[in-house]
Chain A
Amino acid sequence: MSVSRFASLSRIGLAVVASALFCGTAAAQSWPTKPVTIVQGFPAGSGLDIIARIIQAPLEKALGQTIVFDYKAGAGGNVGSDFVAKAAPDGYTFIFGTAGTHGINAALYKKLSFDVETDFTPIGPIVDVPNVLTVNPKVVDAKTVTEFIEILKKQPGKLNYGSSGNGASTHLGFAMFNSVAGIDLVHIPYKGSPPAIQAMLNGETCCQFAQLQTVLGQHKAGTLRLIAMSTAKRVPLFPDIPTIGETLKGFEATTWYGMFGPKGLDAAIVSKFNAAIKTVLEDKEVVDKLAGIGNAVRYETPEQFTATVKKDRALWAGVVKSTGATVD
């Protein structure tokens, strides 16, 4: 509390001085002059955190400042979003959001204390995180999307699919797949991805949309089979694994991770941060590290990213509506 009050007081002070000197962007020009806090709406060690840690050092180098990660977990990332939505737009508080926190949640939660579009300043995306259609071959011995659909059409309502939680992209993506493919499976939500994958291994569920990096180990051992990607294009790490869209035309359920600031952020800071992100995403070592766990870097300008957020919010709102998923 006192910190943010101090921050807003100093902001008022700064504004007074700045308007007196007629140089409104002086602070923005020299930004950043102190460590930058990036909030994550999930606990340390999450899939998001892994990406954050990979880009941390190069981003610090590009910005010339230390980055501090602040984990404010809870309510599917909304606790963190709420914190940043109400933070001072001084360029020292950002949030590493996802297609979930800044897209799905807007449709999923009936009451949110903030708006994912108007209360944030989009900076830029970082990576596309593919969800992959994964099966336990002992339960459903399918090798392609077509085979998978065929097998499941023979036993409607019999088998279960898992997810990392109600309203997670792993849930909604599969629900979308269900309706597009015309198959009937029962949804079983788990608390996070490890128990969901464990359930798929012991046969409680037959299959699920899994974030690629969470099933790499099982894929290598042959205990789980990766059938198809939910992304628009094939994933460089697995050029042999097709996309679902190659079988079901137009199917895509990509999720991204990206950076946002609070609303009213100075345009100079936005473009400076975006440029720093661009430098990081062009770093071959970063690209390789991210690709090694199945993620593709994604660069967009702040304007493009604003449009992406708008588009995806509408897309997921449609999915949420058609599946009837809701979280209070």
Chain B
Amino acid sequence: MELFGQLAFGFEQALTPQNILFCFIGALIGTLVGVLPGLGPVATIAMLLPITFTLPPVAALIMLAGLYYGAQYGGSTTAILVNIPGESSSVVTCLDGHAMARKGRAGAALAIAALGSFFAGTVATFIIAIFSAPMVWIASTFQSPDYFGLMIFGLIAAVVLAQGSVVRSIVMVLVGLILGLVGTDITTGQSRFTFGIPQLSEGISFVALAMGLFGVGEVISNLARTFGKPEVQPVSSLWPSREEARRAAPAVLRGTAIGSILGVLPGGGALIAAFGAYVIEKKWSKRPQEFGNGAVEGVAAPEAANNAGAQTSFIPLLTLGLPSNAVMALMLAAMTIHGIVPGPKLMVERPDLFWAMIASMWIGNLMLVIINLPLIRIWVMLLKVPYRWLYLAILVFCCIGAYSVQNSTFDVMVMAFFGVVGYLLPKIGCEPAPLILGVILAPHIEENFRRSLVVSRGSWWVFIERPISAGFLLVSLLFLLAVLLPAIRRGREEAFRE
């Protein structure tokens, strides 16, 4: 009952006209930022930070938080319509979302993304309110070997993610791993694969790489294939059919669960969560062949997961004072400048701020769904714009986006390079998705693997002694067997047939 009292207190704080206004402004800007490819919440919050100094801290933080999850909503829009991840966490949405759009189901995909996100956001709000303490416990018991186990699990999932040939997807994962290792090695400080280019010292910009592979690659192949007339079928209906809704609902539930848990972990939890949710849907689906060709679950689950993850990534910040990603680091900066010290005592020292932020998350999600649903009609009209004009706008926004992450022209070149790669990969029967996952996971796997061994002074048992890492490794092994065994059997059958 105390919880309801606290939540009511939070709503009381968050529902002042001023805070509602700033929540709305944040959600609106966030939607815009999400829709514009590449221009991410980090660059936007950095630009808005000085404005927030003159606001009361609660209003300022509510606005910035609204901007962050607004971007998660908006990010799926371009992913679905033009195959460009508006936000890095909507990379996965490209896979089936854009395929749905091609089949004339753009409206349905957008509606499912928005409603799925809203549901996930609502659940995640309550999870933050109720489970902050145990969630922090999860995050703070995770040591290096446990992260390693989790990441290996993700890597194995990458192979499952493959649609075509297992061999090709393993190759793609390996290429991704190598690309992910570019930069300075955390353990020794040596730089690898950088060719002496200082801009590569922190690794290849993920935003530039993802936008190149998906967005620019798609633009090139559209232009090459149709001279600027992509084969998009006319939009049949703006709303999901009953069948689509029935299939999306359980996927949203599973996606929410995965996103809520993985969002708490540091290092891009929302992105990994979206991938994880997608893999699990595909693995348990009765129609795995539909994935990649416009499966509703392939939109619903990752969208729910990335929104839930975006919200639970506030937990480490609010309860430990430790930011888990670049946006949270900016939120921490904003709090510090306002004289607020985030940490285990925040809930006691500033309950007004803590509960108001939580309440505002739900209000913000409600606003976002209200902003986004009517917009679907307008977004879908965007598909009627002749592609020879649309693609110019897309490329310009991609360049701005790639540049704005680190204010680096080098990253624009990186995007152009991976644009060509993204165009060529499907030509040789390879897919970019496993490659992207390799890029995300490589630094985490290596860093935690080597750190585990340093901590254990070289003993490999460390991965089995800790129950969490042992559990993940065991599940990975089972996963691998589940994928490989049928493949091996099939291989044998084919051999016998010959």
- B-binding segment of A199-207, A239-247, A259-267: A199-207
Q: Given that A53-B49, A71-B46, A218-B343 are contacting pairs, would A198 and B329 also be in contact in the complex, using a CB cutoff of 8 Å?
A: no
The residue from B46, B144, B339, B406 contacting A292, defined by CB atoms under 8 A apart: B339
Point out the residues of chain A lying under 8 angstroms from B455, CB to CB.
160, 188, 204
CB pair B198 A82 closer than 8 Å? yes
- The segment out of B79-87, B187-195, B243-251 that lies at the interface is B187-195
B78-126 interface (Cβ within 8 A of A) = none
Set of chain B residues within 8 Å of A16, measured between Cβ atoms: none
| Complex contacts, B187 vs chain A, CB 8 Å | 166, 189
| Contact of A293 (CB < 8 Å), options: B43, B321, B336 | B336
Q: How far is the CA of A166 from the CA of B189 in the complex (A)?
A: 6
The docked-state distance in angstroms from the alpha carbon of A281 to that of B136 is 39
Residues of B within 8 A of A165 (CB): 186
Q: A53-B53, A201-B140 are in contact. Are A45 and B320 (CB under 8 A)?
A: no
Instruction: List chain A residues, Cβ under 8 A from B42.
Output: 43-44
Instruction: Say whether A156 faces chain B, with CB atoms less than 8 Å apart.
Output: no
Tell whether A79 is near chain B: CB-to-CB under 8 Å. Answer: yes
Question: Is B168 positioned at the interface, with any CB of A under 8 Å from its CB?
Answer: no
Q: Is the CB of B50 within 8 A of A216?
A: no
Residue numbers in B under 8 Å from A160 (CB-CB): 454-455
Bound complex: CA of A199 vs CA of B455, how far in Å? 11
- Chain A, range 151-205, C-beta contacts under 8 Å to B: 160, 165-167, 186, 188-191, 194-195, 197-199, 201-204
Provided the pairs A79-B198, A201-B140, A218-B321 are in contact, do residues A45 and B342 lie with their beta carbons within 8 angstroms? Answer: no
Verify A57–B50 contact, CB threshold 8 A.
Answer: yes
Chain B stretch 167-183: residues in CB contact (< 8 A) with chain A: none
Q: Which A-B residue pairs are the 6 nearest by beta carbons?
A: A217-B343, A221-B344, A166-B189, A217-B321, A44-B46, A45-B330
Known interface pairs A70-B407, A204-B144, A213-B336; A57-B53 also in contact (CB < 8 Å): yes
Which residue of chain B lies nearest to A203 when distances are taken between CB atoms in the complex?
B143
Restricting to B391-410, which residues have a CB under 8 Å from any CB of A?
Answer: 406-409
- Nearest-neighbour CB distance to chain A for B399, whole angstroms, equals 15
CB distance from A322 to the nearest CB of B (A): 16
Is B266's CB under 8 angstroms from A194's CB?
yes
Residue B220 lies at the interface, judged by CB distance under 8 Å to chain A: no
Closest CB-CB distance, A304 to chain B, in whole Å? 28
Query: CA separation between A76 and B186, bound complex, in Å?
Result: 12
Tell whether A248 is near chain B: CB-to-CB under 8 Å.
no
Q: Are B337 and A191 in contact (CB under 8 A)?
A: no
Q: How far is the CB of B151 from chain A (nearest CB, A)?
A: 14
Q: How far is the CB of A119 from chain B (nearest CB, A)?
A: 15
A9 contacts partner chain B, Cβ-Cβ < 8 Å: no
Contact between chains at B451 and A191 (CB < 8 Å): no
Which residues of chain A have a CB within 8 Å of any CB of chain B?
Answer: 1, 43-46, 49-50, 53-54, 56-57, 69-76, 78-79, 82, 108, 111, 113, 160, 165-167, 186, 188-191, 194-195, 197-199, 201-204, 213, 216-218, 220-221, 223, 289, 292-293, 325-328
**Which residues of A are found within 8 Å of B144, using beta-carbon distances?**
199, 204
Q: Does B202 contact A (CB under 8 A)?
A: yes
**Chain A at the B interface: mostly helix, strand, loop or mixed?**
mixed
**CB-based contact A289/B339 at 8 Å:** yes
The smallest C-beta distance from B52 to any residue of chain A, in angstroms, reads 10
B326 at the interface (CB under 8 A from A): yes
Tell which of B50, B202, B322 touches A198, judged by Cβ atoms closer than 8 Å: B322
C-alpha gap A190/B346 in the complex (Å): 25
Interface residues of B (CB under 8 A from A): 42-43, 45-46, 49-50, 53, 139-144, 184, 186-191, 196, 198-199, 201-202, 266-267, 316, 320-324, 326, 329-333, 336-337, 339, 341-346, 349, 406-409, 447, 451, 454-455, 457
A43 pairs with B409, CB closer than 8 A: no
* A79–B199 CB distance below 8 A: yes
B338 nearest in chain A by CB position: A289
A76: chain B residues within 8 A (beta carbon): 201
B54 CB to closest chain A CB (Å) equals: 9
Contact: B344 with A166, CB < 8 Å? no
User: Can you name 9 A-B pairs with beta carbons within 8 Å?
Assistant: A43-B326, A45-B332, A57-B50, A74-B406, A82-B198, A166-B184, A191-B186, A223-B344, A328-B191
Q: Say yes or no: B201 contacts A79, CB within 8 Å.
A: yes
CA distance A16 to B136 in the complex (A): 64
Contact B343 A216 (CB under 8 A): yes
Using known A-B contacts A53-B337, A326-B189, determine if residue A220 contacts B140 with beta carbons closer than 8 Å.
no
In the bound assembly, the distance between CA atoms of A217 and B457 in angstroms comes to: 31
B409 adjacent to A74 (CB under 8 Å): no
Known A-B contacts A191-B447, A293-B336; the reply to A53 vs B50 at CB < 8 A is yes
Q: Are B320 and A201 in contact (CB under 8 A)?
A: yes
B284 to chain A, nearest CB (A): 33
- Check if B143 sits within 8 Å of A199, measured CB to CB: yes
| Residues in B neighbouring A57, C-beta threshold 8 A | 50, 53
Q: How far is the CA of A72 from the CA of B344 in the complex (A)?
A: 32
Query: With A and B bound together, what is the CA distance between A202 and B333 in angstroms?
Result: 24
8 extra A-B contacts, CB within 8 A, seeds A75-B198, A289-B339:
A1-B409, A44-B42, A45-B330, A46-B329, A50-B337, A72-B406, A198-B266, A198-B322
Known interface pairs A45-B329, A202-B140, A204-B144; A197-B322 also in contact (CB < 8 Å): yes
B187 CB to closest chain A CB (Å) equals 6
A75 surroundings in chain B (CB, below 8 A): 184, 198, 201-202
Asked whether A188 lies within 8 Å of B451 as measured between CB atoms, the reply is yes
Distance in angstroms from B64 CB to nearest chain A CB is 11
